[in-house]
Amino acid sequence: MLLSHGCLFNVYLTMTIPPVIVITGPTAGGKTALALALADRFPCQLISVDSSLVYRQMNIGTAKPDVATLQQYPHALVDIRNIDQPYSAGEFVTDATAAIAAAIADQKIPVLVGGTLLYLRALFQGMAAMPAANPQIRLELEAEAASSGWSTLHDELTRIDPLAASRIARSDRQRIQRALEVYRLSGKPITEWQRGTDTHSLQCPSLKLILMPPERQVLHQKIARRSSEMIAAGLIGEVEKLRTGGISAEQLDQLPAMRAVGYRQVIDFLLGRIEQSELLERITIATRQLAKRQLTWLRSDPGGAWFDPDAGSTISRASRLVAKATEGACGKSDC
C-alpha cells in the first residue's frame, strides 16, 4: 500500500492502517504528559513535532523529556542534529513520513506530538514550491540587518507582504530573511507563493487532539512558571556550555537553532543587550507571544478535539477517541 512521499507501508491485507494521532497545542499546554499517558494505554510510536527538540545540545530551554523518560518512551526525531546543522520543514516532512511508515510496519500507532505547527501543516497540507536559497541575496540582507537592524527589515516586509509580516515575529531573523529573499528573487511576496501549487501531502486518516486551558490566564501562569523553572534549572549555563566548543556568542547568535524562545533571550543577555534582571520577563513575554501565534494557527485550521489539560477527564476522553479511531487497526489485543 503506497502513501504519498513514496513511502511503502507493508501492511497485511487483513489489517487496516491505523490513523495518525496528533497531539498539539500552545507551548506549556501539557502535550508531552498526554502523549506519555496514551503510550501507557496503547502501542504507540511517539514522533516529535518540535523544531528545537531535534537538537542534541538543547535540553533545558526546550523542556525536552529527560533521559530516563526518553528511554522508557522513545521519541522519533529527537536529538538528530547538532546546533550548527539547520533543520527545515521539508526535512521534517521526509523524516516524519519515514517514522510514520516505520511505526505502521511495526504495528504501532503513530503519535505526532509537538507545537511546531509549520511542520504539521507542511506534513498534512503540503509545501509550496518557491525560489531556492540565494547566498548573495542572503549576504545582502545580513549586511542590511547589521546596519539598520532586523526590525527595520521586518518593517520592509510589512510594506511588501503584510500577511507574512503579521505571522513572523520581529525577532525571527531566519523567516524575515527568507521572506525578503523570495520577494527580491521573484518580485512576488512569499504569501502568494504559499498559495500556489503544493507538493504532495500525507494522505492518511488522522485524529487531532488539541490541548489548551479554557482560560488564557491559566496558560500565562503555566508559561511564567515554566520560564522561571528553566532559568533555575540552569538555562544560562546550558547556553554558555555551547561556547566551550569554540563557538562565540556572536556565532551562536547567527545559528537558526538559537532563534528558539529562551535561547534567543539568553544570548541577548550574554551579548550585553539586556540585563540578567530582565531575562525572566523577556522569556515569559516571548513565550506568550509564541503561544498566541500557535493559537491563531490552530483556530485557522478546522478540525480537532479540544481538551483542558488540567481536567481530570482529559486522559480518559482522549483515550476513548484513540480507541475508537484505532479499533481493529493494529491487530494487537491492546490496540
Residue 335 lies in a domain: no
Task: Clarify whether residues 28 and 152 are in a common domain.
Answer: no
Q: Using the CB atoms, write b or e for 149-181: b if 16+ within 10 Å.
A: ebeebbebbeebbeebbebbbbbbbebbbbbbb
Q: Whole-prediction pTM value?
A: 0.81
Question: What is the number of structural domains in the chain?
Answer: 2
Tell me 331's DSSP state.
-
Residue 295 resides in a domain: yes
> Is 299 found in the same domain as 230?
yes
CATH number for the domain that contains residue 169 = 1.10.20.140
The pLDDT, as a whole number, for residue 262 is: 96
pLDDT, residue 13, reads 31
Do 173 and 238 belong to one domain? no
Q: How many whole angstroms separate alpha carbon 56 and alpha carbon 64?
A: 10
Is residue 181 within 8 Å of 141, Cβ to Cβ? yes
Same domain, 80 and 180: no
Would you state the cell numbers that stand for residue 327, as one nine-digit string?
479499533
* Cβ atoms of 201 and 179 closer than 8 Å: no
pLDDT value of position 328: 63
Sign of CA dihedral 176, 178, 182, 185: positive
Residue 332 belongs to a domain:
no
- Pair (112, 232) in one structural domain: yes
Q: What is the CATH number of the domain that holds 221?
A: 3.40.50.300
pLDDT score of 4: 40
Cβ within 8 Å of residue 166, ≥6 positions away: none
Distance CA 240, CA 231 (A): 13
Query: Are 273 and 292 in the same domain?
Result: yes
Identify the domain boundary among 171, 194, 217.
194
Record the cell numbers describing residue 259, joined without a space. 532563534
Reading the block at residue 26, the C-alpha cell is 500552545
DSSP 250-284: HHHHT-GGGGSTTHHHHHHHHTTSS-HHHHHHHHH
Non-local CB neighbours of 11 within 8 Å, separated by 6+ positions = 1, 17, 104, 105
Question: Whole-angstrom Cα distance, residue 93 to residue 2?
Answer: 16
Strands (E), the chain: 20-24, 44-48, 75-76, 109-113, 206-211, 305-307
Q: How many CB atoms lie within 10 A of CB 88?
A: 14
pLDDT 10s digit of each residue in the chain, 335 long? Answer: 334 443 333 333 334 567 999 999 999 999 999 999 999 999 999 999 999 999 999 999 999 999 999 999 999 999 999 998 988 888 999 999 999 999 999 999 999 999 999 999 999 988 777 888 888 999 999 989 988 999 999 999 999 999 999 989 888 888 999 999 999 999 999 998 878 755 667 878 899 999 999 999 999 999 999 999 999 999 999 999 988 777 888 888 888 899 899 999 999 999 999 999 999 999 999 999 999 999 998 998 878 999 999 999 999 999 999 999 998 655 443 44
Structural domain of 98: 4-127+205-326
Closest residue by Cα to residue 179 from 128, 223, 241, 254: 128
Q: Are 16 and 326 in contact (CB under 8 A)?
A: no
